[in-house]
Structures are given as C-alpha cells and as structure tokens.
Amino acid sequence: MDTAVFETPPSTSSRIESGARRRPSRSEAEAAVRTLIEWAGDDPDREGLKETPERVVRAYEEFFAGYGEDPVALLATTFEETAAYDEMIVLRDIRLESHCEHHMVPILGRAHVGYLPAGRVVGFSKLARLVEVFAKRLQIQEALTSQIADTIQGLLKPRGVGVVIEAAHQCMTTRGVRKPGVSAVTSRMLGCFRDDPATRREFLSVIGSQRSAPHEA
C-alpha cells in the first residue's frame, strides 16, 4: 500500500468556510474570556486567573483545529495496489474528543469506521485523522457521524461504508439532567452496509457492538 495512483483535487466543503464572517483577533478572544470570568463572579486580574484568557484561547486552538483542515484534501491520495483485496476494512475504537455545539462542553467517546473497497483504499491513519478533523469542531453527534461516512463514500466510492459512534456528552452528564454513565450511540450505514443485512451484521460483529440496531444518523 505504498504507490499512490489517485489524486483528488482538494476542495473546501466545510460548513464554516463561507468566508462571510470576520474572525475575531486573539486579543478580542482573550477579552471575551475575561468577560466570562467576570460574569461568573471572579476577578480576572487575580494571580491565578491573570493568564487564563491566554491559556483558554490556546486550548481552543487545539479543541477546534478541525476548522483549519480540509477533510477532502486529507483523503486525496488513495491506492490501487491492494492485491485484489475485497473484504471489509475496519478501524475500531478510534478515540473521539469533540465539543457540543449547544453548550460547548466535551463529547468523549470512540468511533468505529468501516468500508468495503471497490478498488481504492486509503491509509489507515487517514481514516483516524478524518474522524479527528470533523470532531475538532463544534458538533452534534448525529452530524459528526454522517460527515465521516459521507466523506468516505464520496471520495473513495466503496461498495459501502459504516460508521458507529459511542460517546458521553457532558452537557447531560455534568449539567441539566445530570445522568452520568449514559452514552449516545449513532450510526450511518451506506451502500451494502445499509442494503445487505449480512454485511451490516458482520460490521457490527467486528466492532464488538452488542446493539443490533443503533440509532441511524
């Protein structure tokens, strides 16, 4: 799997790349954090908080790094030299760290990604990176699940794609209904993963799912 044979032109398909909004400066972002500290009831000038606005902005650069990456370009290079491999390819238990777009608190879990190639495959690390690119944005789990699956289907054009995400949302475990231990399960099945029950069962068996019918995104 070391000879690149397909090059897909990069594109900007992200929902945030419209260019219509001016991105605030770093100093404006830090000022906003100061305002939130004051609103919470503390003094942003006390010793323990003086550097907090700068630290928060740096952390946000990591949390939301996906806005600066193009998932289409990430999967641009694919491979044909697969020795006619035509069985399912699955990556399971991909660590997932995202943030809820409703409350901006963490979503923590794991993603399972599989596809049935039709002559074109992509490096394993690229699939894990694809999950990360979409996760490092403000998200809802249903949309995240669909974005990963639809991008793989659109670029690799395999016979089918399956994506299952299991995650805990701190917007419901640490606030609101406060139900720790609850995880949400979403799936997106395309092609033979949707149409062929045997393929679907095989995928769910490989990823170790005990749920025969996770919620479809």
Catalytic pick among 139, 171, 192, 202:
171
Annotation marks residue 102 as catalytic = yes
Q: How crowded is residue 197: how many other Cβ atoms within 10 Å of its Cβ?
A: 10
What percentage of the chain's residues is helix, strand, coil (to nearest 5)?
Answer: 40, 25, 35
Would residue 169 show up in a list of annotated catalytic residues for this protein? yes
* Active-site option among 54, 69, 103, 170: 103
The active-site residue, picked from 28, 51, 80, 101, is: 101
CA dist 214 and 164 (Å) reads 8
Given the residues 99, 169, 192, 202, select the one marked as catalytic: 169
In the block, tokens 């149409």 appear at: 195
State the catalytic residue, choosing from 141, 147, 166, 192.
141
Query: What's the angle, vertex CA 45, arms to CA 39 and CA 51, rounded to 5?
Result: 100
- Catalytic residue, candidates 81, 102, 215, 216: 102
β-strand partners of 139:
100
Within 13 A of 55's CA, how many CA atoms are on the CB side?
6
Letter for the amino acid at 110? Answer: R
Is-catalytic flag, 141? yes
Asked if residue 78 lies in contact with residue 156, where contact means CB atoms within 8 angstroms, the answer is: yes
Catalytic residue among 100, 112, 139, 147: 100
- Active centre residues (catalytic): 100-103, 141, 169, 171
